[in-house]
Amino acid sequence: MSKSFESVQVVRDGLKKVNYLADDGIASVVYLAQRLGKPILVEGPAGTGKTQLAKSVAEMLNARLIRLQCYEGLDESKALYEWNYKKQLLRIQADKSSDSWSEVHDDIFSSEFLLTRPLLEAISSTDPVVLLIDEVDRVEIETEALLLEILSEYQVSIPELGTITAKQIPMVFLTSNNTRELSEALKRRCLFLHIDYPDMDREKEIVLTKVEGITENLADQIARIVRSIRQLDLKKAPSVSETLDWARTLILLGIDHIDAQEAKDTLHILLKYQTDIAKAAKELSVDK
């Protein structure tokens, strides 16, 4: 990467400028990752800003974001590269007679016939990029092997073409919702960052930053209520996205101070399960 961060604080400020509120942990690990040229494996509950972190770092660096969304069944041809069979076929048929087979062979296995997928694209890019491998826990453990070469050597080997090495080391983020244990090999290659629900002050900042037209007072109240709710033993605690949804709803309803009735009426935006809603209503004594 061309320019290097000067300090952790610079990262924190830079992220804040693009509306991402980082804590000490997040800022330190992003700083370190760039210094050491290592990928970051970001893990944590859903909706806590893992994907957003990669996007925001890209924005901060003025870099292009290349995203590989993982899913069950993702394979090499979708993650790395694929030969463009149709085009190859056309080329072969176009001059059946004239060229020798070896010439044709060399030709059709050249980069002209290569379909670049996100991983290869990130490696071969000449402009600054941030690579996001999103929800890596969704691919089978065997598929992880596809990533290892990229993550340690920043290169891709294509049998017909040779090895393509990165011209610059991109920042790489992998995210995981922790639905399965990732392989030791993968974890060893990455810096590990656990993003949990933000503390009250940071959540308030996030709400203030992201929700248009909100008052300091309301943001404060929202952050407090959400903190209290997260302390309960719930099936699913509210995430940051749900906090933001709730804040936006309250604004739409023209509410600037939450009382018991309004809290009760809108709890379903924060919580998804009936039992959780009932429990929270009871605990906050708003269920009358």
Ligand X SMILES: Nc1ncnc2c1ncn2[C@@H]1O[C@H](COP(=O)(O)OP(=O)(O)O)[C@@H](O)[C@H]1O
Q: Which residues bind Mg ion (CB under 5 A)?
A: 51
Least Å distance, CB 12 to ligand X, is 11
Under the binding rule (CB under 6 A), the answer on residue 206 touching ligand X is yes
Among 210, 230, 264, 279, binds ligand X (CB under 6 A): 210
Q: How many residues belong to the chain?
A: 288
Q: Of 158 and 255, which has the nearer Cβ to other proteins?
A: 255
Q: Which stretch binds other proteins (CB under 8 A): 47-55, 124-132, 201-209, 256-264?
A: 256-264
The CB-of-131 to Mg ion minimum distance in angstroms stands at 15
For ligand X, which stretch binds (CB under 6 A), given 16-24, 65-73, 109-117, 256-264?
A: 16-24
Cα–Cα distance list, 184 to 33, 134, 171, 189 (Å): 19, 18, 21, 9
Q: What tokens appear for 93 in the block?
A: 């048929």
Binding residue (CB under 6 A) for ligand X from 143, 168, 241, 266:
241
Of the pair 164, 226, the CB lying nearest other proteins is at 226
Structure tokens at 63: 């870099």
Q: Binder to other proteins among 167, 180, 215, 256 (CB under 8 A)?
A: 180
Rounded Cα gap, residues 168 and 122, in angstroms: 10
Within 167-186, which residues bind ligand X (CB under 6 A)?
Answer: 175
Residue 240 contacts which entry, ligand X, Mg ion, other proteins, none (Cβ below 5-8 A, type-dependent): ligand X
Nearest to 4 by CA among 168, 194, 188, 190: 168
Q: How far is CA 106 from the centre of its chain?
A: 38
Q: Where are the beta strands (DSSP E) in the chain?
A: 40-43, 64-69, 81-83, 114-116, 129-134, 155-158, 162-165, 171-176, 191-194
Cβ atoms within 10 A of the Cβ of 247, count?
24
> Could you tell which of Mg ion, other proteins, ligand X, none binds residue 188, using a CB distance below 5 to 8 A set by kind?
other proteins
The minimum distance between CB 47 and ligand X, in angstroms, equals 5
191 belongs to the binding site for other proteins (CB under 8 A): yes
- Token pair recorded at residue 19: 């509306």
- What is the Cα–Cα distance from 8 to 232, expressed in whole angstroms? 34
Tokens matching residue 231: 């302390």
x-or-dash string of contact with ligand X, 33-52, rule CB under 6 A? -------------xxxxxxx
What x/- string results for residues 196 through 235 when contact with other proteins is judged by CB under 8 A? ----x--------------------x--xx-xx--x-x-x
CA distance 74 to 72: 6
8-17 vs 24-36: helix crossing angle, rounded to 10: 110
Contact residues for 112 (Cβ-Cβ < 8 A; gap 6+):
none
Binding stretches for other proteins (CB under 8 A): 8, 24-25, 27-29, 31-33, 35-36, 38, 40-41, 43, 72, 140, 178-181, 184, 187-189, 191-194, 200, 221, 224-225, 227-228, 231, 233, 235, 258-260, 263, 273-276, 279, 283-286
